[in-house]
Structure 1
């Protein structure tokens, strides 16, 4: 579904990605792991067209999307849950959801606000609350719901559970498992290795702007030296 190959991205004269390569197949959960500052968010921003890469290619569903603007990438069917949530603070939770609603791919059973509330029952009780009055966990649920309201074929989450309480983290992971069960392709960045290994099918470890290891969950958990070297666990 998504193939990133040889991606090089710069901030001015400073190079952030040095030939980034990764793959997400249809219906699977793939992950990007690595310490802070290694290029994970830059990779996501390059895929989404928020930052334009200078070399390499990004193939999505058989077509190159490198060089497209971010709105054009979203219309192709990629939904983003950004780091920091970035919800609209002066809109209610419900307004945040309907503001992004679209069905560019003509899904037969598109996401609706009611389906989002079924996925996150705690958010339903806060549907009339302004975005800036929601807790961090509620904002993250809303950010996931807002991305789903675009009816993507691929969902990307940047720091899926960062800074969240354990109960909320569990709810986010449960929701991702449910989405995987529905066949949605997912690319997720997070630091919770055990949770990523539990739901992930393919893992990519990033070091200094390139992928240095790719494998499945069994291979990841079996290599303690690998995790210590690149993930600090």
Structure 2
């Protein structure tokens, strides 16, 4: 499905990514791991068209997307839950969700307002509240719901549970587990390794803009050296 091939991305004259390769297959949950500042968010930006790689390419189902505008990437079926949530502060919950709504051909069970409300009942309770009136956890639920409303083939979450209370984190992980059971392809960045080991099929570890390790959950769990050296665990 998603192929990231040897991308090199810059900020001005400063190189941030040095030949990053990763892939997400249909129905997989894949993680990007690493300490802060190692290139994870830049990789997401390169996938989403917010920053074009100078070399390499990003393809979705064989179609090159690495130089498309971000809204065109979203229309092709990649939904982003960005770091910091970025909900629309002056729209209410319902309007935030409807702003992203899109139906995709061949989707037998499309995401609708009602389905999002069933996934996150709190959003239905708060549907007339403005985005800036929500708690951090409610904003994250809204950001996930908004991304689902485009009916994405691939869902990307950048710092899925950062700064959230433990009870809200548990709810987010339960949501991602459910989405995986429904066959949703997911690429996720987070620091909660225990939760990621339970849900993910494959992991990519980044260090200074390079993929330095990849493997499945069993391999990562059995390699404390990788956890300590690259993840600080």
Same fold (TM over 0.5): yes
In 2: Cα distance, 1:171 partner to 1:155 partner: 17
Report the equivalent of 1:42.
42
TM-score by length of 2: 0.98
CA offsets per residue over residues 72-104 of structure 1, 9 Å max, x none? 111110000000000000111111001110124
Alignment of 1:170-209 (within 5 A): 170-209=170-209
Q: CA deviation at 1:106?
A: 5.0
Runs of 4+ in 1 over 6 A off after TM superposition: none
In 1: Cα distance, 2:186 partner to 2:109 partner: 18
Report the equivalent of 1:5.
5
Alignment of 1:78-157 (within 5 A): 78-157=78-157
TM-score by length of 1: 0.98
Q: CA deviation at 1:121?
A: 1.3
In 2: Cα distance, 1:76 partner to 1:61 partner: 10
**SS of match in other structure, 2:83:** coil
1:77–1:105 Cα contact (<8 Å) kept: no
In 1: Cα distance, 2:93 partner to 2:81 partner: 15
For structure 2, the 5+ residue unaligned runs are none
Report the equivalent of 1:212.
212
CA offsets per residue over residues 144-201 of structure 1, 9 Å max, x none? 0000000000000000000000000000000001111110100000000111111000
| Equivalent residues, number | 233
